[in-house]
Amino acid sequence: MTNHQKRLSVPQSWPVERKEETFTVKAGAGPHGEDGVPLLILLRDVLGYVDSRKEARYALNQHNVVINGTPATDEERPVGMFDIGAFREREEFYRVFPDEGGRLTLTPIDEDAAGSKLGKIIGKHNVSGGDVQLTLHDGQTLLVDETADYAVDDSIVVGNEDDDIVAHFVYEEGALATAVAGQHAGQIGSIDDITVTPSSAQNNVTLDALDAEAADSFETIEEYVVVIDENFIADDEAEEAADDEAEATDDEDNAAEAEEDATEDEADAEAEGEAEADAPADSDDEESGATEAADAEEEADDTAAEAADTADTEDDE
């Protein structure tokens, strides 16, 4: 196995530009399997908090970068879907969420929401001692009582501090869900119909889209569907509101700059008008001066002629 990773062959979920450089960092061992994005890519390429691997190592050694409640120390640690990232010094909190196209993005959240993470149940097994082991999409395992009503494809919210289950969302018709891969990755909707395929093929799920700009409904396979809670919609609305507020602020700044430019143009126009008004007076002064000079020259010529006539008269006498 090679220790190098070319950008052209990274998973589609990685938020990297594939044609800027030849190589990128390779994800180390950890959760999320091959879909996990190295922490260095998020710090350097997405957030821009560091410029190199050396700077990332220094930042991680300060224990200020926390992933799912645990300080991260390895820049190659995989980070994946629904993970929670916290930056203590900056007081910033993010949830990793797939956008349209399946690329993983960082969605800003508040500090209260950063105390737990969402997980999809992909496995359920009986273990010795009478307990039931749940396996989540990122590889985390939890032990629950055998009487607990959890099923594969359900979603649970797990506390980052003590791994307690704080919420449970059942995979059923009417539940709020999102597609995390495939053509409809990043779209959110309510489950309208679950079509069970009587074979080894994946079951099909039809969802009513919540996005008004998208189609009324979309269909994907069961593997790509994750049941979520309403906080995900609230986070999206808060992010859109923040974007709208930023755009409104930019529009106000642009309007103020345009008004200032208009005022300057008006002042320049007034100055040019005054200059044009003064120009005829100066022209009249120049013309009168030229006339006086011509009259003086004519008088000088007449005087010279009279003097010549007087001289000729004296010579004749």
Query: Residue 242: what pLDDT?
Result: 47
Using an 8 Å Cβ cutoff, are 124 and 133 in contact? yes
- What is the rounded average pLDDT of the residues 87-113? 87
Using an 8 Å Cβ cutoff, are 173 and 192 in contact? yes
Where are the chain's structural domains? 5-111, 116-169
What does CATH list as the number for 116-169? 2.40.50.740
pLDDT band at 25 (very low <50, low <70, confident <90, very high): confident
- What is the rounded average pLDDT of the residues 232-257? 59
Query: Residue 312: what pLDDT?
Result: 53
Query: Residue 308: what pLDDT?
Result: 59
Domain 5-111 sits in which CATH superfamily? RNA-binding S4 domain (3.10.290.10)
CATH fold match for the domains 5-111 and 116-169: no
Using an 8 Å Cβ cutoff, are 7 and 20 in contact? yes
